[in-house]
Amino acid sequence: MSEKNKIYFFGDSIIENCILRHSRHGNSIFEQKADVQEISKGTLFVNECFKNLIKIKDYGLEKYRVTSINCSSIKTKCYSTADIDDNDNKKVKNRTIAGYNNLKKCKTMSISSQLPNSSTEFNSDDIIILNDKGIRFFSKDNSDLDGLIDKLFVNNDAQKFIALSAKNFNFVLEKLVKVCKDDDLEKITLLFSLDECRNNKMVISSRLSWENTFACFYNAYYENRYVPYLKKFKNLISFAQIEGAVVLDNSKFEFLFLADHVEGDIINREILNFDDIIDVILTAYTIGTMLKKNKLNCAKYALELACKYNDLKSTTIDKKIFDITKVDEIIKNSSFVTISAPEILRRDWKILGLRYQDIGIKNRAIDIVKKGLEKLSKEVPTFKSGKLLSVDRNEIENYRTIKVLLDKYIESDIQKPISLAAFGPPGSGKSFGIKQILCNYKGEIVEKTINISQLNDANDLNSFFKEIGDISIQGKLPVVFFDEFDTNKFHWVKYFLAPMQDGTYYIDGQTKPLGRGIYIFAGATKLSFSQLENEVENEIKTATSTLIDAKVPDFISRLRGFIDIMGINKNEQEPDDSYLIRRAVLLRSMLEGYYPNIFTKEDNKRICNIEDELLKSFLDITKYKYGARSLEQILIMSSVNKEYNFLPSMLPPLSQLNIHVDAKEFLGDRALDRKKMEV
């Protein structure tokens, strides 16, 4: 074993970024032409990371010697920590260079000459990091490439990390697979972004849901024909910008994510791109590896530092966030949720059911009503906008899709309406969600609602369209809800086609423009968009024509998007493990609104004082007859008033309760006692 364990940085490496980022041309750092005021925040950030890294003697890690090898050319310089005098105030040729002011000039030497003579001279505590970001190490022009791979990666016990770029993605993987044996590949950890995968034709969704993104990567890893060599590697980390990551540790998939965000939500692209991220991640990952953290915790620490970097408002660096003594604390208090992939990861999997399989979904639902929603948004994927909070994967994907569509439309200058459809059971709040998505819109919105079932003839509808057009002419954005648009066997659908397609309507013998607008068509007869679509397809197959004659296919073709609202009753058509959580979220919200007096403050939490068995009745009932409306009516009819507890005796009479639920099921054994009391 060598006297000191070694860390080798290959490529456009971290210390090179610190010192040479602004002097790519020339052989000496003393030719630096930028003073410290011109050095980017990214440079300063990595400086602070690296300054902590080289002070490893302060943390019992003094056995490491750090060497940086710049692979921008086949013959290059080598700098090591032995050459750094950490004197922030000293000037070199009247230049202050990124905090490193007395870096000795080293002679030019080949890469091979800077490495041990044989791969067997590396030991298991050595670390090799190769950042293949636009460099020439993995290059067809590198005549010594096979020899370098053989020395660095074959029969070599060192820990090896390779940061891949999109440009060389397949070439690097193919080269390593062809030169290395399977045992050698198992000692390599690949680091890359999901965008690198997408740039190499791997179909991986973005910004829909974490389940969708992770399932896409999981399937692409095993099945993708465009990156066939990837599945040869049993250790990798693929970063979803700074909001999440896929971690493969010895063939076991684990996922990291911010529960209330998706990929790209919080990254400040004016400050940060993945080239900067990978520098920070490599530094943090190296620190974690030196401290013997597993891959998941190394990734968590790296993402936490990347998030802190993203949050910085200027080039002023808070040095506390680089304190290596705080690594364990940062990992423990991390806001990133971790979850292991199930043995069989289906495309329709849901994190919520997996996350709560140990404590039970019902127990978490009770906790939500009693203690609030704060914990929920830190444990499972959520979508929040205004007063809307969704925890169901399908709903989240629908809401995010609709939000993207609406954001693009609002930012555009399109002078025709955008049309969306909303489906769901009665009382599910089909218009509520879209209203909450639009709540942050800065322009002036005018909401209009029309119940189509109440129209007498086409003149009534055209008069309504005139009102909408007048709103648009005034420079305001009309948001129009066409409730029960499918009433009377879709009779009215044909009158929507011209407004949807051309942005025009017909009145007083003239065609008039409608201008901009957001049109939401809320269905009353179909529970989901797929139900409507399937009925249309079935008509085409069976040569029947009810929906076709009503122009329903033409209507569907004009829709820009749709949303299926789940409601608070269990979906009997497909697995639904989130309905108890949906009920709990809505019940908590309604109780806060109607009866704030039953809440008390404990440990900075608002605790809901509702009798335990009564709470279970609200959650366990098989069906609310009219969805969320029924839940709301039961609460309104209850005589809680100024009481400080919600007790079963405060519920409405059985006859009234029966309007909205099966009262006997709701009250259970207490139903008979209640009946005797009422008699």
- Report the C-alpha gap between 198 and 478 in whole angstroms: 38
User: Measured at the alpha carbon of residue 93, what is the angle toward residues 92 and 97, in degrees to the nearest 5?
Assistant: 45
Rounded average pLDDT per 10-residue block, the chain, 679 residues? 60 43 29 32 47 47 49 35 35 29 38 64 79 65 76 86 83 91 93 91 92 95 90 95 94 94 80 67 79 90 82 54 74 91 89 86 94 89 91 92 92 93 86 86 87 92 94 93 92 94 89 94 90 89 83 94 91 85 94 94 91 95 94 95 88 93 88 56
Q: How far is CA 437 from CA 112, 237, 390, 402, in A?
A: 58, 33, 12, 9
- Show the beta-strand stretches assigned E in 464-557: 477-483, 504-507, 510-513, 518-522
* Pairwise CA distance, residues 464 & 475, whole Å: 18
% helix / strand / coil in the chain, to the nearest 5?
45, 15, 40
CATH 2.40.50.1070 given to domain 393-564: no
Q: Which pLDDT score, from 0 to 100, does residue 464 have?
A: 94
- Give dist(CA 341, CA 327) in Å, integer: 26
Give yes or no for a contact between 4 and 65, defined as CB atoms under 8 angstroms apart: yes
Cα separation, 595 vs 608, whole angstroms: 10
| Cα–Cα distance measured from residue 619 to residue 612, given in angstroms and rounded to the nearest whole number | 11
pLDDT of residue 278: 74
Q: What's the number of CA atoms in the CB half-sphere (13 Å) around residue 491?
A: 11
Per the CB < 8 A criterion, the answer to whether 13 and 69 are in contact is yes
Which pLDDT score is estimated for 76?
Answer: 31
Residues facing residue 342 across a β-bridge: none
Spatial contact of 98 and 43, defined as CB atoms under 8 Å apart: yes
Q: State the fold for domain 5-340.
A: UDP-N-acetylmuramoyl-L-alanine:D-glutamate ligase (3.40.1190)
Closest C-alpha among 646, 643, 651, 644 to residue 667:
651
* Whole-number pLDDT of residue 322: 58
> Domain extents for the chain?
5-340, 351-386+570-633, 393-564
Q: What pLDDT is attached to residue 276?
A: 64
pTM greater than 0.85: no
Rounded Cα distance between 24 and 313, Å, is 27
The helix or strand, by DSSP H or E, that contains position 549, with its residue range, turns out to be helix 546-549
